[in-house]
Amino acid sequence: REMVVPVFRGEKIVSILGVGNKETPYTEHDIDVVQRLANLAWEIFIRKQAEEALSKSEERFRSMFREHDAIMLIIDPLDGKIIDANKAANRFYGYTGEQFEKLSIQDINTLPAEEVATYREKAKRKEMTRFEFNHRLSTGSCKAVEVHVSPIEINNQTLLFSIVHDISQRNELIEAQKRSAQMAA
């Protein structure tokens, strides 16, 4: 004896489940139980596929984040803790990943902590997305930076995704042009 039940999604059969070798004939109850089992198995299969796709997507994002040449930080807007920093940030600031885990944005931004907290709140509310700051490197020296910030949701928590550009050379060139223009005048 054998029994095969289809799994429908809409009007389409997406799978079938078969059972066999029952000593007595299959009943309507048996069919109902196998149908439920088939539907449950299909839902588990779909959920596993979604989990695998999500995992691959997360891995792609993590790889893009880690390996990109742009300096990137992920910051908690509530306390300023640096949640993550990519390799470019490690090179630019001179901190290892483990050192970054112990830092907050106040440790590298030269503004007073209250002012940095105000800017984080504005970024979280999307009132401001571009900032210019001076950031302190691990050596103690400072660099002028332009920061582009977007709030993102990760695990039901709003975090700030920051892309940092070193603009210290640009600022030096602008100042040199101004001095040159003043001397020519």
Global pTM reads 0.74
DSSP codes of every residue in 62-108? HHHHHH-SSEEEEE-TTT-BEEEE-HHHHHHH---HHHHTT-BGGGT
Q: What is the pLDDT of residues 25-78, one digit of tens each?
A: 999 999 999 999 999 999 999 999 999 999 999 899 889 999 999 999 999 999
Q: Using the structure block, give the residue that is written with the tokens 């995992």.
A: 55
Q: What is the pLDDT of residues 139-174, one digit of tens each?
A: 999 999 999 999 999 889 999 999 999 999 999 999
Q: Using the structure block, give the residue that is written with the tokens 């101004």.
A: 178
Pairing mode, strands 142-154 and 71-75: unpaired
Q: What share of the chain is helix, strand, coil (3-state, %, to 5)?
A: 45, 30, 25
| Cβ–Cβ under 8 Å, residues 71 and 86 | yes
Please say whether the dihedral angle defined by the alpha carbons of residues 81, 85, 91 and 92, taken in this order, is positive or negative.
negative
| Cβ–Cβ under 8 Å, residues 22 and 4 | no
